[in-house]
């Protein structure tokens, strides 16, 4: 895979920058950590070379100085809010995060339950955590937050919250998802630290938008595409421009909230340590782009993938038309169209030739591989087999899976499991291939090529089942699908 981002430089410079920010205060920094700590695949797609677990490795370099507070809103506990990417509730994800951090040698000091206003479910969750030996603190709902500053910065506002005991100079405040109350937790702690004579600091770590590349750079446009459902908008930071005469990029919510934050800082400290939202950030990703053109191309593909995903969601009734329209606008701003995704045309041409669903995949060296629907295999399953045979240097007509090995699986599906579709899905093909690899050198050689598919682009002429989509995702294949149901179908 082509590399446009220097990951080693990022790990080094990011941790150094955070250490420097800690020293600017009384060796106590509350760092609001936005985005995903684990599996940041968006960043790895738009910044080729960025490792999905880069932020985790960066924190491990600071592990002796850092502790974590995991924040969850009582409102999210009450309504059993679900993480869309994992399919688990936010309270379950808190436990998952604690285990994951501990596995990587990171210290979780406590959990903060925010926006508490008497919810029984929040108290039950608190008791569950405390029974597991985890310290839990309650932060209360403050009427008029964030605009009612006199109440917020008072004993009836932040002062009412339980003070979170911390022992290390860097306190990472993270959460299962947005809207959990990370920023409010940080500000509440600043208030309590100040009462104790400690001049603690606050900073924000968000990878996107990248503040020191152009506003309409494809990497920043791809961030807008990723948050199209939230209607976030990148914009020039007007406060930074006025204070320093420098053009930097931030996003609308941080710019809009900054005057309020600035006033809160002044109420707590007597004066604000920051002149702009950009000042609050500590992100160094923009300094680690080593090939701008590669990152531009990767980001354009990400915008196109988001566009196709929105068309699929629109057809299923899972998003509003405005989301798709925003993505079309972002495509126009980036100067791209679906014609810039070469696998799209290849899949559609193959579908037209065969009169059935088809798929296409572009290998790292530019070779285009296609797959068609047959009586034995679905198009996406055929595509995987054709791609790994090509990578293994095997002839196209070689049967690494014989019809005799496929037919018993079809019999199992149709006769015993009552499936209407006898064709093998991608997961079934890979299991069959794995079984064949025990006795067939050709099957074993083809199976060994699967890691080489990571980062490849693929497209199918119809929407795929969740099973097939998950297999492509696990293989690292960057997939898009036409917003079309297979003939005669309205449901996968």
Residue 399 or residue 73, greater confidence: 73
pLDDT at res. 490: 55
448: how many CB neighbours lie within 10 A of its CB?
13
- The CATH class of 341-481 is alpha beta
Same CATH topology for 7-205 and 341-481: the answer is no
Q: What angle do CA 337, 369, 312 make, to 5 degrees?
A: 45
* Domain ranges (residues) in the chain: 7-205, 341-481
Which of 7-11, 150-154, 381-385, 434-438 is predicted with the least confidence, judged by mean pLDDT?
434-438
Q: What is the mean pLDDT of residues 127-156?
A: 95
Q: Is the pTM of this model over 0.85?
A: yes
pLDDT of residue 402 exceeding 80: no
CATH code, residues 7-205:
3.10.630.10
pLDDT of residue 84 exceeding 70: no
pLDDT of residue 445 exceeding 70: yes
- The model's pLDDT over 341-373, given as tens digits with 9 standing for 90+, comes to 999 999 999 999 999 999 999 998 999 999 999
């Amino acid at each position: 895979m082509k590399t446009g981002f220097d990951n080693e430089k990022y790990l080094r410079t990011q941790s150094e920058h955070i250490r420097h920010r800690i020293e600017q205060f009384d060796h106590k920094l509350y760092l609001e950590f936005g985005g995903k700590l684990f599996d940041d695949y968006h960043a790895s797609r738009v910044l080729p070379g960025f490792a999905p677990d880069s932020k985790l490795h960066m924190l491990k370099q600071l592990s002796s100085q850092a502790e974590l507070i995991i924040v969850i809103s009582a409102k999210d506990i009450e309504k059993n809010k679900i993480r869309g990417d994992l399919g688990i509730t936010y309270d379950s994800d808190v436990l998952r995060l604690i285990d994951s951090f501990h596995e990587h040698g990171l210290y979780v000091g406590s959990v903060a339950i925010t926006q508490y206003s008497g919810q029984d479910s929040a108290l039950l969750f608190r008791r569950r955590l405390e029974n597991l030996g985890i310290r839990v603190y309650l932060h209360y709902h403050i009427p008029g937050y964030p605009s009612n500053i006199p109440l917020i910065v008072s004993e009836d506002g932040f002062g009412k919250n339980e003070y979170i005991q911390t022992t290390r100079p860097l306190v990472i405040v993270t959460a299962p998802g947005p809207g959990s109350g990370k920023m409010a937790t940080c500000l509440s702690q600043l208030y309590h630290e100040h009462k104790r004579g400690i001049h603690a600091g606050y900073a924000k770590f968000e990878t996107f938008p990248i503040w020191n590349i152009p506003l309409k750079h494809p990497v920043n446009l791809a961030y807008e595409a990723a948050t199209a459902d939230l209607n976030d908008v990148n914009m020039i930071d007007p406060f930074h421009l006025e204070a320093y005469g420098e053009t930097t990029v931030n996003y609308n919510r941080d710019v809009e909230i900054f005057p309020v934050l600035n006033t809160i800082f002044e109420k707590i400290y007597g004066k604000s340590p920051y002149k702009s939202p950009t000042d609050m950030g500590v992100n160094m990703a923009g300094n680690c782009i080593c090939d701008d053109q590669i990152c531009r191309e990767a980001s354009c593909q990400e915008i196109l993938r988001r566009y196709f995903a929105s068309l699929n969601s629109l057809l299923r009734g899972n998003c509003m038309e405005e989301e798709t329209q925003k993505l079309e606008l972002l495509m126009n701003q980036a100067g791209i169209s679906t014609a810039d995704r070469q696998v799209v045309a290849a899949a559609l041409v193959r579908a037209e030739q065969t009169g059935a669903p088809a798929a296409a995949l572009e290998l790292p060296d530019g070779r285009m591989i296609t797959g068609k629907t047959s009586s034995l295999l679905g198009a996406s399953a055929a595509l995987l087999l054709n791609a790994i045979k090509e990578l293994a240097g095997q002839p196209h007509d070689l049967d690494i899976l014989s019809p005799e090995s496929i037919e018993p699986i079809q019999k199992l599906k149709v006769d015993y499991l009552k499936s209407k579709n006898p064709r093998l899905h991608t997961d079934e093909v890979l299991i069959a291939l794995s079984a064949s690899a025990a006795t067939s050198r050709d099957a074993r050689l083809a199976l060994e090529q699967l890691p080489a598919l990571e980062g490849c682009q693929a497209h199918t002429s119809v929407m795929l089942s969740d099973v097939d989509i998950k297999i492509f995702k696990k293989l690292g294949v960057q997939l898009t699908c036409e917003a079309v149901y297979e003939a005669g179908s309205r449901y996968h």
